[in-house]
Structure 1
């Protein structure tokens, strides 16, 4: 994933890779989308504005130029934030998509190259309507920048009370229900009861652990795999309509998550954390390096506070995941 400086945007693309700057232009909660001409590569599919980074250009300069040429919109170079970086081999060409977002575009857009354009909500973006390499971008736009994780649950009744209080205080878009204190059957019963609380609060529930947990709790948002479960799998254990996350600690684990078709990964611990005493922190520098080679959205994990969200995103991460900032 890209960093704020163009020279540090992920890893420097290989010579045979085509470095493409991609713009996610947001206005009133909608994203500007265009349709590719039929005669070009991947013709007829939808795309985000952007184009090849020319020799001597920074990625921000390329984006400002491409946005103006394609849509007539004006964007300041300091109004762009990194989203994700993706390397993809189409067979006939290899590309590095360097994706940046802005909500500071001025003017009314028009398809200056004859392409139809429209504003769509993130939940209207469908994988099959875009080139395959764009799918991680869609995931990044749909995911929040803060992923909540439940705290210690010593017994089901106390745990449900804590969950209800936390949801009343802050209703996160997505929450991982982590309860290692409960046995397998106890966890599934607890998750079924927690799912009702989450539905009422408008929070998507992600069960934590084995794929069987997801099968036991209908109507939830998805499954989060700890590494001990992810390493046993060779294919995606949930359908495309459900979220799939994986906890990772190094580059090879991130690659395995990608092979499983994960929609996001947690990476850490970035800082020392009380929930995993004795686990060494990787620090922000290692986080940035690992994120630079990832092709799925990555949340920073481990001892983090809301103030750390900007740092995580500046380094190319999706945001932060944690317990303390919302559980209380």
Structure 2
């Protein structure tokens, strides 16, 4: 006997590094577990319309600007669910309208909460390490370290076949530029979860151009680029240079004050970059960054 199939629309609500989470009652399917707001897609309703409706009914706020996050199929013992995921940033003026018992959690806390099994992929994508190491040699990539690794390499030095030597779990911690990602074989592409955009690449993209199911981090050297990254659906950005660097000694450093001002004008996760050391994380977070990135000092 075939299992029933249910289409579910889920809305991931984000606010400056936090995610809105609720609790499923015992009588519900997969009860006594944490959940993201959402519900069943009704007949004749698009998944995005269902998401918008469910958020209004369950959370109490209406949000117009939504971004496609992912589509996930998961089979339980009794049913098959298709999760249609969207995300949106909650502005400050809507915070007081959010109904109880929804609660904000830092991304670091999500992996310790008991969610239904179908949410594993969502949780892995929402969690970002606070550290990103940048290097042009893949030998510097340490998959078991508490950091992501952006393999920043010239086109002529990019050797895609070496990626086959890493496990699927290892590759979840690797960041590739979109240009290099497009050169990968069909078996490798699903294993790369995070893509990088240089600023000139970023400015060529518009909302709807980003590949579904991938998370994007973009290089931003000015406020226009930072705001554009949020508008098209990038989840994180490198803001640089914060401090003077050896590689660009004549480039004016932004400084901590500028970082804080820019961070207040965007809700994407900001990774401070340029002349920083891992010990600078607390200072960066004090000025609005989520994490820090570096080359030599990392």
Aligned to 1:175: 149
Secondary structure of 1:246's aligned partner: strand
C-alpha distance in 1, partners of 2:217/2:167? 18
Aligned to 1:119: 114
Shift of 1:222: 2.5
Taking structure 1 as reference, are residues 264 and 216 closer, same or farther at Cα in structure 2, changes over 3 Å only? same
Q: Which residue number corresponds to residue 42 of structure 1?
A: 56
Q: Secondary structure at the match of 2:142?
A: helix
Q: Which residue does the alignment assign to 2:250?
A: 278
Match of 1:95 in 2: 94
Indicate if the aligned counterparts of 2:38 and 2:54 stay in contact, CA closer than 8 A: yes
Q: Distance in 1 between matches of 2:108 and 2:202?
A: 36
Cα distance, 1:324 vs structure 2: 2.0
Could you tell me which runs of 5 or more consecutive residues in structure 1 were left unpaired when the two chains were aligned.
1-18, 26-31, 48-85, 105-117, 128-137, 152-158
C-alpha RMSD of the superposition: 4.3
**TM-score normalized with structure 2 length:** 0.59
CA displacement, residues 260-302 of structure 1 (integer Å, 9 cap, x when unaligned):
2101011011001123332110000110110011111111010
When residues 277 and 99 of structure 1 are mapped into structure 2, their CA distance, relative to the original with a 3 A threshold, is farther
Counterparts of 2:117 and 2:256, CA distance in 1: 29
Which aligned pairs between 1:122-271 and structure 2 lie closer than 5 A? 124=119, 141-151=126-136, 159=137, 163-167=138-142, 171-180=145-154, 182-183=155-156, 186-187=157-158, 190-194=159-163, 196-197=165-166, 199=168, 201=170, 204-208=173-177, 211-217=178-184, 218=189, 219-271=191-243
- Which structure shows the higher helix fraction? 1
Aligned length: 219
Q: Work out the CA distance in 2 between the residues paired with 1:294 and 1:88.
A: 10
Q: Which runs of 5+ in 2 are unaligned?
A: 1-14, 22-32, 40-52, 62-88, 97-102
Contact in 2 for aligned 1:172/1:203 (Cα 8 Å)? no
1:252 & 1:285 partners in 2: Cα distance? 17
- Shift in Å at residue 243 of structure 1? 1.7
Deviation string for 1:225-273 (max 9, x for gaps)?
0101111222354423212111112221111101221010110110011
Tell me, in whole angstroms, the C-alpha distance in 2 between the residues paired with 1:123 and 1:271: 42
TM-score (norm 1): 0.54
Larger relative contact order (CA 8 Å, sep ≥ 6): 1
